[in-house]
Chains A and B, each alone.
Chain A
Amino acid sequence: MQASSDPLLDIRGLTKIFPGVKALDGVDFTLRAGEVHALLGENGAGKSTLIKVLTGVHGRDGGEIRLAGAPIEARDAADAQRLGIGTVYQEVNLLPNLTVAENLFMGREPTRFGFTDRRSLRRAAAALLKDYGLSVDPDSTLGDHSVAVQQIVAIARAVDLSGRVLILDEPTASLDAGEVVVLFDVVRGLARRGIGVVFVTHFLDQVFALADRVTVLRNGRLVGTRAIGDLDRLSLVAMMLGRELSAETLKRHRTGRVAAEPFARFEGYGRRAWVQPLDLAIRPGEVVGVAGLLGSGRTETAKLLFGIKEADSGRAVVDGRPVRIASPRVAAALGFGFCPEDRKTEGIVGDLSVRENIVLALQARRGWLKPLSGQESRAIADRFVKLLDIRTSDIEKPIRLLSGGNQQKALLARWLATEPRFLILDEPTRGIDVGAHAEIIRLIERLCDDGLALLVVSSEIEEIVAYADRVAVMRDRRLTGVIEGDGVTVDGIVRAIASEHREAAS
């Protein structure tokens, strides 16, 4: 764990200019051998650019990069790898249809008489994996393993190829809590072997759990580098945002009242091979959180309630009337709205403008024969851009060009424009920078105070505690219980998830 003080990687005054933007402006960064160094910043701060310049994806416009004292200039990712810098991205860049061993040694397979020597390939792979405490069959297909295992295989490959610097770009974004622990053990093991690890993440807890030092970038400039011991959560967030954020922004200020009568009630509502039958009622003016580990059925529940998958058991009652929610269209007509977890493939319509994305659900509900006039749709879009502070230079800009947080706000606007009564939000703050994160949470609270019923799925338990009145806990595609009142604490929720796990193990 103890990092040496000689810099392994030394970046001085790195500058990168894109047309019209200074993406990196004289950034310094040092990485010591054997340390885990977290690289933080809001979206657009320059983290990705720094990594891309370092790994040769982009050229640089100024500055110097030294690896173990020698100046380097990687021409491309493969070149960077040869120099000793390996990168593992959030989406694993391996071939899921090949075996674990083939993935590890792709392009450098041991050969015998010109053919791949499968026996030594397997042996080498097994030896390599042993260092990572991973007991998987090297001949198994990579795609059959969990994302965590694939991630570790990717790390093993990168380290084996490069071996001095390992860059992890949001490696934990699609892992559940247990898998994160396993991954962290692997990373710590690598640091002990003297490898310098650069770790990019949005999860502050993970920074405190893993990193030795932290470097924060903002708007392409270096804010500072600190040892983790000299920092607390608040000061770190303040560094990232460039302003003080008081602890109380996390606490909920309730002003609205929860209605007695539920807006929607689901009884024995389920679908085979999707989610087990569940009972849930949602009242106007309350936020129901949905917690559980990855794969516990959180997203499946959200999609079931919104009619993306039709229930095959139980009944749904909305406003006291039994209804059949056969499609998102029906759900939207009932006053439901849904912001999906996977914004890019299920939420935004990337090539269409911010304006068109905002009016889409409203227009879909009105039908194609009753178009919103250009004036009306601009007025709606302008109103929500102001109301939700969606940062875009122009409402006619394609929405894919916006940052994640602003896309999320536009999706919220899409549903708010339909004046919904029940909003289902699946991971509304995933992959969003800290500033927008806080804004979205405040927005959830405001909507709730306005009398909206909300169901919010989140993997960040602190976040759920901050806004939820009640918390539904999921495990193995089953709703195992609802926590209410004083029980809604991080401790209470974690215990509810964990106790179920123990039960499952026994």
Chain B
Amino acid sequence: MTLARPFRALPAATPQILTFVLVLLANWAVFPDFFDLRLQDGRLFGSLIDVLNRGAPVAILAVGMTLVIATKGVDLSVGAVMAIAGAVAATLAADGQPLPVILAAALSVGLLCGLWNGLLVAILDIQPIIATLILMVTGRGIAQLVTEGQIVTFTHEGLIAVAGSALLGLPMPVVIALALAGAVAALVRFTALGLLIESIGVNRTASTYAGVDSRSVLLAAYGVSGLCAALAGLIAASDIRGADANNAGLWLELDAILAVVIGGTSLFGGRFSILLSLVGAFVIQAMNTGILLSGYPPEMNLIVKATAIVLILVVQSPAATRLKGFFGPKGGRP
């Protein structure tokens, strides 16, 4: 019997879930109060909630990045797009524009950036790493132009609520990240988009010859990635109540790529799982938080992160799969 599509990722998900649990347990070991939650003013507080809240921007980036990587591409510009969207939002907020206008403007800018990347990749056939590098570099310049070189701050209640409010006891960024991941996962799995993305990622020529509209699918993937980046940028701006064109989202594209890789999507394209990318993003944040809580110098963070990533990749590597063949049933991936 074959499993229905949404459940198919489950057997393959074991390393990610296991890693997440291990990292959480490690945090608990160095900081016994780690799992403590308390309810105050209808909001949950605690280290675990912090992990989810802090991890939300990368989780949101990872959602879009998953689609792009599944097409055998990569989007290096998401950090810069965060900065642009944040700059646009902050400038409009400082100007006193209503929240719907701010959201619409920032998201449109993000979508536009994504479509620009998609245009370079799908129509002009430029390699994704180069195509998105262009916006990665110029994006911060554009963001600075928007803020006219200043750090723009605002006191706009509506925009502050994007990161500052809570829903069902959870911080709004966590709600946004989960809702977005759920929505995009539903979009790709309940339409044929998921199949077409995987097909293009594995073999674009063959897919095109089979009549797949590869260009539109690629445009859609990069467009979604741009949208996700804008959303993450909004949260980042709302969080610090301002826009810092130089530092907003800096290096987060790398965390997003890492999250996707930890989530088991191959950089060679093909099979992907948005929900596992989300787990990947939270694994990264849990490690960050763990280092902070343990009192180790933050410099250790990078080394611990690298070690954990090496471990995960080794577990996922073909060599490990061969080894597993001796112990368990064959063909973990259907």
Interface residues of A (CB under 8 A from B): 19, 306, 308, 327-329, 331-333, 338, 340, 345-353, 356, 360-361, 363-372, 374, 378, 394-397, 414
Contact = CB atoms under 8 A, between A and B. Distances in A.
A385 B267 CA distance: 32
24 contacts: A328-B210, A331-B211, A333-B211, A348-B203, A348-B206, A349-B199, A349-B206, A349-B207, A350-B202, A351-B198, A352-B195, A352-B202, A353-B334, A356-B195, A356-B198, A360-B210, A363-B192, A363-B195, A364-B211, A368-B196, A368-B217, A374-B4, A378-B2, A395-B2
Interface string B187-207: 000111101101100110111
B203 A350 contact: yes
B211 A332 contact: yes
B208 interface: yes
Contact of A368 (B193, B211, B325): B193
B209 interface: yes
A304 B121 CA distance: 25
Contacts, number: 93
Interface in B257-274: 270-271
Given A349-B199, A364-B213, A368-B193, A328 B208 contact: yes
Given A368-B192, A369-B191, A351 B202 contact: yes
B5 interface: yes
Contact of B325 (A19, A331, A370): A19
Sort A-B residue pairs by CB-CB distance and give the 4 closest, nearest first: A332-B211, A371-B192, A364-B211, A364-B212
A343 to B, nearest CB: 9
Interface string B165-207: 0000000000000000000000000111101101100110111
B206 A345 contact: yes
Nearest to A394: B2
Contacts of A329: 208, 211-213
A351 B271 contact: yes
Nearest to B192: A371
Interface in B315-334: 325, 330, 334
A371 B195 CA distance: 9
Nearest to A327: B208
Contacts of B330: 19
Given A363-B195, A396-B334, 13 more contacts: A333-B211, A345-B206, A351-B270, A352-B198, A361-B210, A364-B207, A364-B213, A371-B195, A374-B5, A378-B2, A394-B2, A396-B2, A397-B334
Interface of B: 2, 4-5, 190-193, 195-196, 198-199, 202-203, 205-213, 217, 270-271, 325, 330, 334
Given A369-B191, A394-B2, A396-B334, A328 B203 contact: no
A288 B190 CA distance: 41
A327 B325 CA distance: 44
Contacts of B209: 306, 308, 328, 338, 340, 346-347
B217 A328 contact: no
A109 B325 CA distance: 44
Contacts of B203: 345, 348-350
A364 B208 CA distance: 9
B192 A372 contact: yes
A329 B207 CA distance: 10
A289 B212 CA distance: 27
Nearest to A360: B210
Given A349-B203, A363-B195, A328 B211 contact: yes
Nearest to A339: B209
Nearest to A347: B206
Nearest to A361: B210
A364 B271 contact: no
Given A346-B209, A396-B2, A364 B196 contact: yes
A352 B199 contact: yes
Nearest to B201: A351
B191 A368 contact: yes
B308 to A, nearest CB: 27
A331 B211 CA distance: 8
Given A366-B192, A368-B196, A374-B5, A360 B207 contact: yes
A388 B270 CA distance: 27
A303 to B, nearest CB: 9
B170 to A, nearest CB: 32
Nearest to B326: A19
A350 B203 CA distance: 8
Given A368-B217, A396-B2, A396-B334, A360 B199 contact: yes
A361 B192 CA distance: 12
A255 B181 CA distance: 56
B4 A370 contact: no
Contacts of B190: 371
Contacts of A363: 192, 195-196
B22 to A, nearest CB: 29
Task: Indicate the member of A332, A333, A364, A370 with the most B CB atoms within 10 Å.
Answer: A364
A306 to B, nearest CB: 8
Contacts of B198: 351-352, 356
A340 B210 CA distance: 10
Nearest to B331: A397
A371 B206 contact: no
B162 to A, nearest CB: 31
Contacts of B217: 368
Contacts of A356: 195, 198-199
A187 B197 CA distance: 48
B264 to A, nearest CB: 13
B331 to A, nearest CB: 8
A275 B291 CA distance: 65
